[in-house]
Amino acid sequence: MSDVIKNRYEFVILFDVENGNPNGDPDAGNMPRIDPDTGLGLVTDVCLKRKIRNYVETVKEDCTGYRIYVKDGVPLNRSDKEAYVQLHIDEKKLKEQKKNDPTLDTKVRDWMCANFYDIRTFGAVMTTFVKAALNCGQVRGPVQLGFARSVEPVYPQEVTITRVAITTEADAEKKGTEMGRKYIVPYGLYRCEGYISANLARKTTGFSEDDLNLLWEAILNMFEHDHSAARGKMAVRQLIVFKHDSELGNAPAWKLFDTVKVTRRDESDATPARAYSDYVVTVDRDALPDGVSCTCMG
């Protein structure tokens, strides 16, 4: 594995959805998430991290060092237990073993970071209890994402659908079709901002240059293996990366984010946007502070 990253980063992800539901809200009947005050669409950080995890799992197929800790169908305790087995830790004798080896907690944490990509990247809470104290610690990951928010208000639509497959025999005797509903956003361009701490990578998880390159690849392709009728047409349009020439950074993150502007191509057009081509994305490179460079991907 390559060296741990030595530079701080911030990044902006621009992605869009067409005729789909990018992130349903279970508190609102799975309607697309909306900020009720502004009408802007929302996509949670948890949703985006899930896409990144799924991409890494798809391309790496659980190879050494790139397994996924938070995944469907695998209880967290199963992975926690594996760390104890590999490090020859007896849960019943844990207190005694810790007395003999004060670094035991750190060894468990480091083993989890070394084997699971998403722990090394996003961190994890691994303090669970099953009979004895099965505790792999808590890790604050160097990579953090905020909520994605749409550039303009979105207008969800409720679409009524019919199907000819009837659920029960009794219903089949009464009717030939069943009705259903699905929610879509006709079009929305979303912006998400993220942070990468080289300091946390060095001190805690060992997030490396190889891990960083895989993260960029996963972000750019996180929707490519996740297509479904419910989510419509989703794509990452641009990934804008700010790289500091130091571990702790050379400028506040907000100053860098403010250099990224998304505007309508025709500012006099008051109709809702229906395509990415309706927008213009610019980065004011002249406003970048010394010691910070910018790269646009996608």
Q: What is the pLDDT averaged over residues 69-80?
A: 89
Q: At which residue do the structure tokens 């229906």 appear?
A: 274
For residues 241 and 285, give the distance between their C-alpha atoms in angstroms, rounded to a whole number.
12
The whole-number pLDDT of residue 234 equals 97
Backbone angles phi, psi at 162, to 5 degrees: -125, 155
Q: Which residues contact 258 (CB under 8 A, 6 or more apart)?
A: 287
pTM, entire model:
0.92
Residue 77 confidence class, pLDDT cut points 50, 70, 90: confident
What percentage of the chain carries pLDDT values higher than 70? 97
Q: What is the pLDDT averaged over residues 174-186?
A: 85
pLDDT over 90 (residue 52) = yes
User: 3-state class of 171 per DSSP?
Assistant: helix
Residue 133 confidence class, pLDDT cut points 50, 70, 90: low
The whole-number pLDDT of residue 260 equals 98
Answer for the pair 78, 84: CB distance below 8 angstroms, yes or no. Answer: no
Answer for the pair 273, 286: CB distance below 8 angstroms, yes or no. Answer: no
pLDDT tens digits along 96-129: 888 888 888 899 999 999 999 999 999 999 986 5
Single-letter amino acid code for the residue at 268:
S
pLDDT tens digits along 215-266: 999 999 999 999 998 899 999 999 999 999 999 999 999 999 999 999 999 9
The whole-number pLDDT of residue 128 equals 67
> Across all residues in the chain, what is the average pLDDT?
93
How many CA atoms, within 13 angstroms, populate the side-chain half-sphere of residue 250?
Answer: 12
Task: Tell the burial category of 30 from Cβ atoms under 10 Å away from its Cβ (0-12, 13-18, 19+).
Answer: middle
Query: DSSP assignment of 73-133, as one string?
Result: T--HHHHHHHHHHHTT--GGGHHHHHHH-TTHHHHHHHHHHHHBHHHHHHEEEEE--BSB-
Q: What is the pLDDT averaged over residues 188-192?
A: 98
Single-letter amino acid code for the residue at 290:
D
Q: At which residue do the structure tokens 């996509």 appear?
A: 43
Answer for the pair 62, 79: CB distance below 8 angstroms, yes or no. Answer: no
What percentage of the chain carries pLDDT values higher than 90? 74
